Chains A and B, each alone.
Chain A
Amino acid sequence: MNETTHITARHRDYTGSKIGMWLFLVTELCLFFGPVLLFAMNDIKYPTEFHAASGALDRTLGTLNTVILLTSSLTAALSVASVRRGNNSLAVFLLMMTIALGGVFLFNKYFEWGEKIAHGIYPGSPGLAKLSAGEAVFYGLYFFTTGLHALHVLAGMALLSVMSVLTAAGKVDKNDFIKLENSALYWHLVDIVWIYLFPLFYLIS
């Protein structure tokens, strides 16, 4: 209980910051719960159309992206571990790698979307209107959900860039690394959301 006075005295509360971050991650999961629920309901309504549309997605590229994002989560976790061991330069390198992998993920995503758009499949397109209702809804959800996820990837990359600057400047070190740790947690969230989206859109049908 003396902890309380301690916390207010130095205005720094490691556990408190972690609780706050986890609560924020809960809100992010709830955010993605919406589209996933819509997907489930529509999948029940249009089983064959969803099957067809899902088969038309590029599974190889999807799998590749999953591997890339999982690896980036590893490098993010390792960067926290190296800061805790006092090795800031290694941490900066690992953060850079994480950001780069995030970039590769988005690059692949760009090609994946580009290929669909080249075939005239994008929200509001005449090509989409020619498809069956179920497939149109599938692609609507596909673009919305992966787009929302891509925005989170971008946000995560921005966050990690700030962290690598702070780590390089020594503002984050082995005595005070909560900012970096929370940012890495955010990156893991981006990863874990994808781990659910990937089978949902590409595999289950």
Chain B
Amino acid sequence: MEITGNSYLQNEGRYNGIFSWIFSTDHKRIGILYLVSILSFFAAGVSLGFLMRLEFLTRGATIMEAATYNSVFTLHGVIMIFFFIIPVTPSVFGNFFLPILIGAKDVSFPKLNLLSWWFYLAGAALALLSLVLGPADTGWTFYAPYSLRTGTYVSIAVFAVFILGFSSILTGINFVTTVHRLRAPGMTFWRMPLFVWAIYATAWIQIIATPILGVNLLLVIAERVFGIGVFDPAKGGDPILYQHLFWIYSHPAVYIMILPGMGIISEVLPVFARKVVFGYRAIAYSTIGIAAVGSLVWGHHMFVSGYSYTAGVIFSMFTFLVAIPSAIKVFNWVGTLYKGSIEGGTPFLFALAFIFLFSIGGLTGLILGALSLNVHLHDTYFVVSHFHYIKFGGAGFAFFAGLHYWSPKMFGRLYNKKTANWSCLILFSGFNMLFFPMLILGMEGMPRRYYDYLPQYANLHLISIVGSWVLVSGLIIMFANLIYSVFKGERAGANPWGGATLEWQVPSPPPKENFETIPEVSRGPYDFTDLRK
């Protein structure tokens, strides 16, 4: 990478080479550290998912046995959820852009920020260790009592996730404090870009929900090592309570995944529609609304676990309620496009793909939230498809939108737009080809987590497998294009898309402390009047 000017990519610190990165407390460098480490895990997770699909090419064991398949889907889940989709947007774009977007020079606690990346690495090392010793076969949910009894190295995998929790908590604390303390003069809460709102709400969930998962995982370890018996029915314990504690965290964690993605979409759409975002306050409030109501819906993962009917009705009701703020966002995004002067760019295409895929994910979520239908669809491919539409189609595509939107700012180089547009189209088609047949498979009764299937499911599985090939080719093209651009791309100006938020007012890549003088903010984030001149 050729570097000019006073950019953060230039090395002026105490250390040289790799050490100037892994010991850097600059929020931008930490963002890049996260980007590289998280994407490495993403590559591993995609490969595992690809192999899982390939297994379904023929009936019976195709490329792996049942026990291997159990380990593979567990690893795929653990990696994709805890190592990729939970940390990816807050840790990469949150770190890189949150301080710039509010006009600060760094986050409140730069050293803690670096520490949180080291925690991420420690968790990663432990996960790899468990992989070498013998990966867990419990599924990413580590449900008791199986997780207490299986002979695989569950404790290490669980401890890895526990360590990642520290990373998540420290990031959350850092962001909440930064938003409260380091906003530039004039940057009131109602002038913050919606991405900042999203990261702020996410940070609160990280702070409040993560410790509950943490203690739950500690209980699993204590149970395996000391046999305390709290979740073990043989010792009088109750495994349902494990599920409650698990989902008290893990459902809000879905919003840790999706809210920052929604924030990215709320940044991209107004810029490419050249129009102030429709219903700024409604989007901000709905972000908080999702964070709040989303904390009360965990029981919808447990409709068939055996709790009272009343509990089921209440959780079902809250599940329907949480659809309201999500729908408010979708309508506001579409409203933003209405009568805008739209300029099609790759980030915009990804944002449109997001809205479509997220809507399918959201609507299938309502189907699953209905008590009676859930009994039929529980633990089928319908569920698998639903959460992939939300997490990959939603959070993942939003992250890709963010990559195409912000990478010119992060590296100062533009990617090939034509290739990028094609990669978006290929990804979108591959994704739907892979996951839409799963909705039908689920309704026809194909259970999840089986390595084999009945003959009547063969055709739909085949379509889905071919879809996985298309999807993977799309990913390869997209990342090849982005990586090439980082080194060889055309130079990007300070403001390639015509954005009005603060990050577009500093050079690309941003200078070391972001701003020479802290800017004075006098208007909202989507005011394009100056750019029209």
- A-side interface residues toward B, CB under 8 Å? 1-2, 4-5, 7-8, 13, 15-16, 19-20, 23-24, 26-28, 30-35, 37-38, 41-42, 45-46, 123-124, 128-129, 132-134, 136-137, 140-141, 143-144, 148
Contact = CB atoms under 8 A, between A and B. Distances in A.
Contact of B236 (A8, A16, A34, A136): A136
A19 B184 contact: no
A1 B181 CA distance: 10
A32 B215 contact: yes
B229 A136 contact: yes
A19 B180 contact: yes
A31 B169 CA distance: 12
27 contacts: A5-B518, A8-B104, A8-B105, A8-B518, A16-B182, A19-B176, A23-B177, A26-B208, A27-B169, A30-B209, A30-B212, A34-B211, A34-B216, A35-B219, A37-B244, A38-B230, A41-B238, A42-B230, A42-B238, A123-B222, A133-B235, A140-B228, A140-B235, A141-B230, A143-B228, A144-B228, A148-B218
B445 interface: no
Interface residues of B, number: 44
Given A5-B518, A20-B177, A124 B184 contact: no
B176 A31 contact: no
B181 A19 contact: yes
B230 A31 contact: no
A124 B226 contact: yes
Contacts of A132: 236
Contacts of A134: 236
Nearest to B240: A41
B219 A34 contact: yes
B183 interface: yes
A63 B184 CA distance: 51
Nearest to A32: B215
B407 interface: no
A136 B223 CA distance: 13
A27 B229 contact: no
Contacts of B106: 8
B208 A30 contact: yes
Interface string B167-200: 0010011101100111111100000000000000
Nearest to B237: A137
Nearest to B227: A124
Nearest to B242: A38
Which 7 pairs show the lowest CB-CB distances between chains A and B? A133-B236, A124-B227, A34-B215, A140-B228, A30-B211, A31-B211, A1-B185
B211 A27 contact: yes
A24 B214 CA distance: 14
B108 interface: yes
Interface secondary structure of A, over-half rule: helix
B109 A20 contact: yes
B181 A37 contact: no
A34 B518 contact: no
A48 B229 CA distance: 19
A46 B186 CA distance: 57
B296 interface: no
B210 interface: yes
A23 B169 CA distance: 9
Contacts of A42: 230, 238, 241
Contacts of A19: 176-177, 180-181
Interface centre among B106, B181, B212 (most CB of A within 10 A): B181
B245 interface: yes
Contacts of B185: 1-2, 4-5
Given A20-B173, A124-B227, A33 B236 contact: no
B420 to A, nearest CB: 36
B139 to A, nearest CB: 21
Contact of B108 (A20, A28, A41): A20
